[in-house]
Amino acid sequence: MSLGPTMRLRSVLILLFALAATTPGEASAQQSDTVWVNLRSRVYHCQGTEFYGRTARGEYAIESVALQRGFRPNGGIGCGRTTSAATRDSASSTSPPEPPPMPLQSGLAACRVLRIVDGDSIHCELQGSVRLIGIDSPEGDQEPFGTAATAALAAIIPEGATLLLEQDRDARDQYGRLLAYAWHDGAQVNWIMVRQGWAVAVLFPPNDRYFDRLRAAEVGARAEGRGLWRVGGFVCLPAEHRRGAC
């Protein structure tokens, strides 16, 4: 029986915590990053609370991603915090030193997500295969890291979500996939994947519009040990793996 993206995310996160070999206290802090988002009320619930995973319309997400998407913690108290905070203020202490990119005001094409292919590729209803520009996530045979990156992307942009796609200079890659920056609820998905440690920044000229921002996001994620950086997920970079170097 195949697992849906939300259940797959929970399983992968549990596996990653085990790989990290944390103490019980550290594991508890890491697991609190996963919250249950109520899509109807736009409130999210922490693990161990009454409505975690139990509302009629909801999905699992990383807490910082939920905040970036405009959801607020139930009761005003974030899962990783002990003091109350306003919706956006709860993320202020962990906001990155580098600003995230802002979407263009025009020239964006709507995409309805039909499938998450892997951590850097999706399939849209009208556009077909889409490769996210400027990022690279572990391959499917780099387990468990490939599955973790795919599940993380599915948590950020679940199947059925509507995105806005922005293109750069080259429209397609050598495989015919559309090359794009994906925007969801005003946030760039490419940047979020790198900043949360599920992908690394990679430059494929001439598509370099946001490379400096993506590179800065990678530096921040690596310094803070986010996502796959914490568990050695990028000891062998995806590009090096494809070349057979490691």
Contact 30, 20 (CB under 8 A): yes
| pLDDT at residue 19 greater than cutoff 50 | no
Same domain for 156 and 47, yes or no, is: no
Position 85 scores a pLDDT of: 33
Share of the chain above pLDDT 90, in %: 43
| Total number of domains in the chain | 2
Q: Is the pLDDT of residue 77 over 80?
A: no
Q: Give the DSSP letter string of 103-121.
A: --SS--EEEEEEEEEETTE
pLDDT at site 175: 92
- Both 46 and 134 in one domain: the answer is no
Q: Is residue 100 assigned to a domain?
A: no
pTM exceeds 0.85: no
pLDDT of 97 over the 70 cut: no
Rounded CA gap, 212 and 203, in Å? 10
- Beta-carbon contacts of 146 under 8 Å, excluding residues fewer than 6 positions away, are 118, 119, 137, 138, 139, 140
> Is the C-alpha dihedral spanning 140, 145, 80, 195 positive or negative?
negative
Instruction: Identify the pLDDT of residue 47.
Output: 79
Instruction: Give the C-alpha separation, 25 to 154, whole Å.
Output: 28
What number is the average pLDDT over the span 100-120?
Answer: 89
For residue 13, the model assigns a pLDDT of: 54
Residues 87 and 140 in one domain: no
Round to whole Å and give the CA distance between 186 and 56: 26
Q: Are 193 and 156 in contact (CB under 8 A)?
A: yes
In a domain, 101, yes or no: no
pLDDT band at 8 (very low <50, low <70, confident <90, very high): low
Higher pLDDT, 134 or 81: 134
pLDDT the model gives residue 49: 81
pLDDT at 123: 95
CA distances from 93 to 22, 27, 191 (A): 24, 21, 19
Query: What residues have CB less than 8 Å from 211, skipping those under 6 apart?
Result: 134, 201, 203
pLDDT (tens digit per residue) in 175-229? 999 999 999 988 999 999 999 999 999 999 999 999 999 999 999 999 888 999 9
Residue ending a domain, choose from 94, 123, 145: 94
Is the Cβ–Cβ distance between 147 and 99 less than 8 Å? no
